[in-house]
Amino acid sequence: MVTLTSVQEQKIWDILETVCDPEVPVLSILDLGIVRNILSKNNEVEIVITPTYSGCPAMDMIAMNIRLALAEQGYPKVKITSVLAPAWSSDWMTTAGKEKLKLYGIAAPDKKFEIPADGVECPQCNSTHTKLISEFGSTACKALYQCQDCSEPFDYFKCH
Amino acid sequence: MQDFNPSENLKHLGKSEISAVSPPGIGKAAYTLHLADTTLLLAQRNAAWCAHGPILEQDIAITNISLDLIGQARNFYQYAATLINNEAETPQGKLMDEDRLAFERTEREFKNLLLVELPNGDWAQTITRQFLFSQYQFLLFEKLQASNDEQLAAIAAKSIKETKYHLRWSSEWILRLGDGTQESRERMLQALTELWPFTGEMFVNAAYEVAAAAAGSGVDSSLLQQEWLQNVAQLLEEATLAVPQNIFMQSGGKQGIHTEHLGYILSDMQYLQRTYPNSQW
């Protein structure tokens, strides 16, 4: 597999920008930082991705969505490779991704809360008078909080 | 689906094809299958709590842990399948894969720790098992990260991030229950009595562990015991509990000799594939 010319590559990166995490539809897979590399051989494109959490069911769906998005834009032959090392970290999330999370109502990963604890800023009213309900939320990557001021429950995208 | 003809399908089960799936005894594939089976069985046991948790948040917590463990199991099974396919052409020529390893092997071919196939019991027993196991798994993955086998090291480095959550969560619960009410403490003492005999096996190397450790790809699990016992004893003491003394330790799971519980789990888990072989979603 050889790396692509910059023009071709940019085109593919733009297509990948349209593929979102099915759990968090505002986050593209580039915002999440799970796309490792793009390679190509004659007309077959290889996308190297890495899982966020070992058991995350969204990864199978993301692989399928990548295949569909590329096929629609004229890249019928797509190979998707998953690599585990180095392990994905929430540090790879882009700043833009973090802002999108906040707008969507999910608190973005914050180094001060490496271990989830009370005080994560509420994405609704920005209060830090918030309570950790459970370190395990509706998906593997999120913890459950409740704001004590506006009393809205919200998810916190955990540092990982 | 073509018209279902039971006798046709049952005939298929008669052949020894299924039992031909198991790889030779002490290769890296067997070591990887041990790691895969252990994580899969605990995932299955924890998943049984779904919709039965003591409170919603803990129902989500234990099913989240189950999901992590299933993910780890899938990584190990996929790698074991690769190893098996490289080692020898499978008898039927059909390539091995993660699903066949999970759904087509019999009890005697599973190599999981006995600890993870035991019943969930009450919340105290489930928590105690999770803590005893996660403390072990954390120490195991910590060492496995240094494996000279890139894939095993990668899976360990990936999984340990999740194991930390499992260990922290179960430790908090050990304290809450042990140093809790009279009843919760009694249930914890009962759980420790029930489970302790199955902890020794974690530190007795099976042949494939000895081989893997010698080759530098696996971990000599006997080296984990001292630190494991230290950490467990410290937390139990904090929780006003104590380490059960001179208990006869059970073993055999690593070699495929299981308790009566495993068969029931497999019959539930493998039912669909055994009744409708090769069925797809």
Cis peptide, bond prior to residue A86, ω within 30 of zero: yes
Under DSSP, the state recorded for A81 is: E
Q: Is the pLDDT confidence value at B49 over 70?
A: yes
CA distance A146 to A118: 9
pLDDT of residue B213: 97
pLDDT of residue A9: 86
Scanning every residue of chain A, which has its alpha carbon at the shortest distance from the alpha carbon of B61? A136
Q: Tokens for B105, please give them.
A: 């092997």
Starting at the edge strand that comes first in sequence, how are the strands of the sheet with A78-82 ordered?
Answer: A35-41, A44-49, A78-82
Q: Residue A156's closest CA among B172, A130, A125, B168? A: A130
Q: Tokens for B202, please give them.
A: 């974690």
pLDDT of residue B18: 40
Q: Residue A146's closest CA among A128, A159, A138? A: A128
CA torsion sign for A35, A39, A40, A46 is: negative
Record: contact A86-B71, CB cut-off 8 A: no
At residue B27's C-alpha, the angle toward residues B87 and B39, to 5°, is 105
Q: Is the pLDDT confidence value at B14 over 50?
A: no
pLDDT of residue A67: 95
CA distance A119 to A115: 12
Record: contact B74-A83, CB cut-off 8 A: no
- Strand A35-41 relative to strand A106-107: parallel, antiparallel, unpaired? unpaired
Neighbours of A76 (CB within 10 A): 12
Residue from A52, A54, A82, A160 whose CB has the most chain B CBs within 10 Å, to mutate: A54
Q: Is the pLDDT confidence value at B16 over 70?
A: no
Task: Count how many pairs of residues, chain A against chain B, have C-beta atoms within 8 Å.
Answer: 69
Give me the DSSP letters along A6-51.
HHHHHHHHHHHTT-B-SSSTTSBHHHHT-EEEEEEETTEEEEEE--
Q: Bridge partners of A45? A: A40, A78
Record: contact B64-A84, CB cut-off 8 A: no
Phi, psi of A2 (to 5 degrees): -110, 155
Record: contact B165-A135, CB cut-off 8 A: yes
Q: Which residues of A touch B57 (CB under 8 A)?
A: 133-134, 136, 144
Q: Bridge partners of A41? A: A44
CA distance B72 to A90: 19
Q: Which residues of A touch B151 (CB under 8 A)?
A: 84
At residue A84's C-alpha, the angle toward residues B146 and B137, to 5°, is 50
Side chain identity, residue B88: A
Record: contact B158-A137, CB cut-off 8 A: no
pLDDT of residue B233: 98
pLDDT of residue A3: 58
- DSSP three-state, residue B30: helix
CA distance B27 to B33: 10
Rounded to the nearest angstrom, the minimum Cα separation between B57 and chain A is: 6
Q: Is A160 on the interface with B (CB under 8 A)?
A: yes
Per-residue pLDDT of chain A (160 residues), as tens digits, is 555 677 788 899 999 999 999 988 999 999 999 999 999 877 789 999 999 999 998 999 999 999 999 999 989 999 999 999 999 999 999 999 999 999 999 999 999 999 999 999 999 999 999 999 999 988 889 999 999 999 999 999 999 9
Q: Is the pLDDT confidence value at B24 over 80?
A: no
Encode pLDDT of B234-273 as tens digits.
Answer: 999 999 999 999 899 999 999 999 999 999 999 999 999 9
Write out the residues of chain B at the interface with chain A, using a CB-CB cutoff of 8 A: 57-58, 60-61, 64-65, 67-72, 74-75, 150-151, 153-155, 157-159, 161-162, 165, 168-169
Scanning every residue of chain A, which has its alpha carbon at the shortest distance from the alpha carbon of B78? A82
Q: Is the pLDDT confidence value at B15 over 70?
A: no
CA distance A137 to B197: 34
Q: Binning pLDDT at 50, 70 and 90, where does residue B7 land?
A: very low
Give, in words, the CATH class of B22-275: mainly alpha
CA distance B152 to B258: 26
- DSSP three-state, residue A157: strand
Neighbours of B168 (CB within 10 A): 15
B278: left (phi over 0), alpha (psi -120 to 50) or beta: left
Tell me the three-class secondary structure of B179-222, residue by residue. Answer: CCCHHHHHHHHHHHHHHHHHCHHHHCCCHHHHHHHHHCCCCCHH
Side chain identity, residue B94: K
Rounded to the nearest angstrom, the minimum Cα separation between A11 and chain B is: 31
pLDDT of residue B20: 44
Encode pLDDT of B67-118 as tens digits.
Answer: 999 999 999 999 999 999 987 755 566 789 999 999 999 999 999 999 999 9
Residue from A133, A136, A145, A155 whose CB has the most chain B CBs within 10 Å, to mutate: A136
Q: Which residues of B touch A136 (CB under 8 A)?
A: 57, 60-61, 64-65, 165, 169
CA distance B24 to B44: 26
Record: contact B60-A86, CB cut-off 8 A: no
- DSSP three-state, residue A151: coil
CA distance A35 to A33: 6
Q: Is the pLDDT confidence value at B1 over 80?
A: no
Record: contact A55-B70, CB cut-off 8 A: yes
- DSSP three-state, residue A83: coil
Rounded to the nearest angstrom, the minimum Cα separation between A144 and chain B is: 9
Encode pLDDT of B150-198 as tens digits.
Answer: 999 999 999 999 999 999 999 999 999 999 999 999 999 999 999 999 9
Query: Looking at chain A from residue 116 to 145, which residues have their Cβ under 8 Å from any Cβ of chain B?
Result: 133-138, 140, 144
CA distance B10 to B8: 6
Record: contact B64-A83, CB cut-off 8 A: no
CA distance B173 to A26: 35
